[in-house]
């Protein structure tokens, strides 16, 4: 175990940082493994719940198929691993926070903690939005546009790929306000600059949505519009956020060191 007093020392050797980073990775993997072992028995039930938006819109006498020999076995396990990662996300982010927090000053910690909590909440909101809003519309559109005489029998592997892509896309897209605040906090941009670049950002958002989502207008629009709204929300938050001037920041850093 790495001594906590040595870890908080800003002059801690690089080797000690690497040892602590290795411990962080091991603890994170162990947490995911524990949750996975607790959920693996229910892997098929988890798959049934996650795939419900698709199975509900399947035509009568149609069903999801598995074209791979072991796809029916491995796909629920793969999904359970991802669910386990999502479940322990707060712990994973806390581990990352515990690693970087000693390098932050007191005033930076007071700002970063609410930001960490907000990022967790927004990530889960993105997952919920994808499952309850995007999935039903996307799969309904896919099933309803199948030509007559063509059997609509989605493959279980392709289905999971689409679902995971949408989950991660919406989960991270909902982090835009946090990213905006971080850019403002670091001084890389200003509120005025964000407003001036709005037309280019909006075009970039729709291009990004076009490449990250399935080739249908519903999922692309459902990703682009929330991203645009969240970008505007980040600009709105800028009204309440005033970056610390360099002189004030130096004074705060000296004060933190004295404490």
Q: How many domains does the chain have?
A: 1
Q: Which residues does residue 65 pair with via DSSP β-bridges, in sequence order?
A: 155
Q: Quote the pLDDT of residue 106.
A: 64
Q: Quote the pLDDT of residue 31.
A: 94
pTM: 0.77
Check if the beta carbon of residue 252 is closer than 8 Å to that of residue 194: no
Check if the beta carbon of residue 218 is closer than 8 Å to that of residue 166: no
Check if the beta carbon of residue 177 is closer than 8 Å to that of residue 118: yes
Range of the domain at 244: 4-258
For the chain, the first-to-last Cα distance in angstroms comes to 26
Q: Count Cα atoms within 13 angstroms, Cβ side, for 195.
A: 8
Q: Count Cα atoms within 13 angstroms, Cβ side, for 255.
A: 9
Per residue of the chain (259 residues), give pLDDT as tens.
444 444 444 445 667 767 878 888 899 999 999 999 999 999 999 999 999 998 888 887 778 888 888 888 999 999 999 999 999 988 888 887 777 766 666 666 666 777 778 888 989 999 999 999 889 888 888 888 888 778 888 899 988 998 998 898 888 888 888 888 777 776 777 778 878 888 888 888 888 888 877 777 777 888 888 888 888 887 787 666 555 554 444 444 444 444 4
Q: Quote the pLDDT of residue 208.
A: 85
Q: Quote the pLDDT of residue 226.
A: 86
Check if the beta carbon of residue 140 is closer than 8 Å to that of residue 52: no
Q: How far apart are CA 208 and CA 231, in angstroms?
A: 14
Q: Given 3-state DSSP classes, what are the helix, strand and coil percentages for the chain, each rounded to the nearest 5?
A: 80, 0, 20
């Amino acid at each position: 175990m790495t001594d906590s007093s040595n870890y908080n020392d800003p002059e801690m050797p690089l080797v000690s940082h690497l040892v602590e980073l290795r411990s962080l990775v091991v603890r994170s993997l162990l947490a995911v493994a524990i949750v996975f072992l607790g959920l693996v028995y229910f892997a098929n039930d988890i798959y049934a719940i996650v795939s419900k938006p698709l199975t509900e819109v399947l035509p009568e006498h149609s069903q999801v198929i598995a074209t791979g020999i072991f796809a029916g076995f491995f796909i629920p396990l793969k999904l359970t691993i991802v669910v386990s990662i999502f479940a322990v996300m707060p712990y994973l982010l806390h581990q990352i926070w515990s690693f970087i927090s000693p390098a932050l000053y007191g005033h930076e910690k007071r700002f970063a903690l609410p930001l960490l909590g907000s990022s967790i909440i927004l990530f889960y909101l993105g997952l919920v939005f994808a499952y309850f809003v995007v999935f039903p519309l996307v799969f309904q559109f896919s099933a309803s546009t199948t030509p007559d005489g063509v059997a609509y029998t989605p493959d279980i592997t392709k289905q999971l790929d689409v679902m995971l892509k949408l989950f991660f896309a919406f989960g991270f897209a909902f982090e835009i306000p946090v990213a905006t605040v971080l850019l403002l906090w670091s001084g890389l941009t200003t509120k005025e600059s964000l407003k001036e670049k709005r037309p280019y950002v909006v075009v970039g958002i729709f291009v990004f949505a076009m490449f990250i989502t399935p080739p249908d207008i519903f999922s692309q629009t459902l990703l682009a519009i929330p991203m645009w709204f969240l970008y505007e929300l980040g600009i709105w938050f800028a009204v309440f956020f005033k970056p610390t001037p360099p002189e004030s920041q130096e004074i705060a850093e000296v004060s933190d060191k004295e404490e």
